[in-house]
Amino acid sequence: MFPLQLLPLTTLNPPPPSPHSPFPSKMNHSASLKDHCITSLKTLTPHITCLAIHRNLLYAASVNLINVFDLSHYSLLDAFNQSPASGFVKSITFTNSRVITAHQDRKIRVWFITPAKRHRLLSSLPTLADRLRCCILPRNYVSVRRHKSSLWIKHCDTVSGLAVNQRFMYSVSWDKSFKVWDLISYRCLESVKAHDDAINAVAVNSDGAVYTASADGSIKVWRRDDGAKRHALVSTIGKQKSTVNALALEGGGAGFFSGGCDGAICRWEWGYRENDVVKMETLSGHGGAILCLIHVAGLLASASSDLTVRIWQRGTGSSGYCCRAVLEGHEKPVKSLVAFSETEGDSNGVVTLFSGSLDGVIKVWQVFGLA
C-alpha cells in the first residue's frame, strides 16, 4: 500500500460575480434566492470528478485521489486511493461504515472507515472468491468484443456510476450494462445488457425502481421481479436528441429530471397509465452540456460545462420550475454537485451546496430565501 500523502488545503477568496453572464438566463428575478460563497477548497491535483457527503465528511475525488474534508471546519482529514493505476474516480457511495468507489480501471473498491476517520481498502469487486467461483464454468463467460470474453460478473469498461438502496448496489458502466450486487456479501447477483451505448448515470428510488441514462439518448426504468430474482425493463424514455449525462429523482418519487449534452433539463412524471412516463417541461438557460443534477429540499441544482451552477425551484401557484439563482466563479466545467439541508422541508431553511470543477476547485455555497 502506498504511503499516505495529505495534499495541502488552500482557502481561496471567492471572486466577485460576473456582471454579465455569457449565456442567456431564464431566471425569475422577482423571486430570486439569495446565495453566498462561504469558501473555496483547492488541492494540488486538478479535475474534481465527483463529490459525496457522509456523516459530516465531504469526499472529493480528484483524478485517482479521494480527499476527505471535515465539514465542521473544512480541514483535510485523509486522502486515499494513492495508486494512479485506478484512473479517474467516477462515483462514490456509502453503506454503513463502508465507502464504495467506482473507477476508470473497471473496478469497484470497498473501503472501511476507521475510528480515526482513515480509510482502508477491504476489497475490489468482483471479489477474488467470486471470480474463482465463476471462472470454472464456461457458461460464466460472455463475449465483450471480437475474439475476447470475460466473466459476466466483471465490468469490461469504465464504471461510471453507483447507487444503493436497502438491499442492493447498482453499478453502471460504459460497457452498456448495469450490475446488481448484494450489500452484505458483495457478490454480483445479476448483469443486465441495458443500452446500446455507454451508461452515464444511475439512480434508484425508495420503491426499488432503477433508472439508467445513456449516451444512446435513452432513459430506462427497471424493476426487480422477486419471483424470478431478475430486473425487468418497465419503461423506456427517449430517445432524446442528445446524450443523457445526468439524472436526479424528485422528492417523493413522483418524477425525475434528466440532463444532456444539448444543455436542456427535462422534468418527467409518472402518467396515469401503468409504467407510462410523461415529459412535463424542459428547463432552458445553460449554455453548455449538463454534467450533474441533484434535488434537495425542493431545489434542483444543475452543473454545466458553461462554468455555472443554476438553482431551480417550482414556481408559486404553478407546476413549473424557474431558475432562481446562477452561481458563477468556476474557471472550468462544473462536474459534480452535492448538497444538504439541516431543515429539510422547512421553507426558512438554508441549503449548503458544494460544486466541484475541472479547475480543481470546490466551492462551498449557502442558498437561502426558500419560498
Instruction: Give the dihedral sign, CA 147/162/153/47.
Output: positive
Classified as helix, coil or strand, 302 is strand
DSSP-derived letter for residue 138 is G
Residue 71 domain-assigned (yes or no): yes
End-to-end CA distance of the chain: give it in Å, rounded.
50
Residue 1 domain-assigned (yes or no): no
DSSP-derived letter for residue 9 is P
Task: Find cell 458553461 and name the residue.
Answer: 306
Residue 112 domain-assigned (yes or no): yes
Cell numbers describing residue 195: 443500452
Residue 40 domain-assigned (yes or no): yes
pLDDT at 371: 55
Residue 2 domain-assigned (yes or no): no
Give per-residue pLDDT as tens, 305-340. 999 999 999 887 767 899 999 999 999 999 999 999
Residue 246 sits in a domain whose CATH number is 2.130.10.10
Residue 5 domain-assigned (yes or no): no
Contact 288, 313 (CB under 8 A): no
Total of domains in the chain: 1
* Residue 203: its H or E element: strand 199-204
Residue 3 domain-assigned (yes or no): no
109-117's contacts with Cβ under 8 Å and 24+ in sequence apart are: 109/81, 110/186, 111/80, 117/57, 117/68, 117/70, 117/77, 117/78
Asked whether residue 304 carries a pLDDT value surpassing 60, the answer given is: yes
Give per-residue pLDDT as tens, 355-371. 999 999 999 999 987 75
Give me the domain span that covers residue 110. 10-368
Determine the average pLDDT of the residues in 5-13. 42
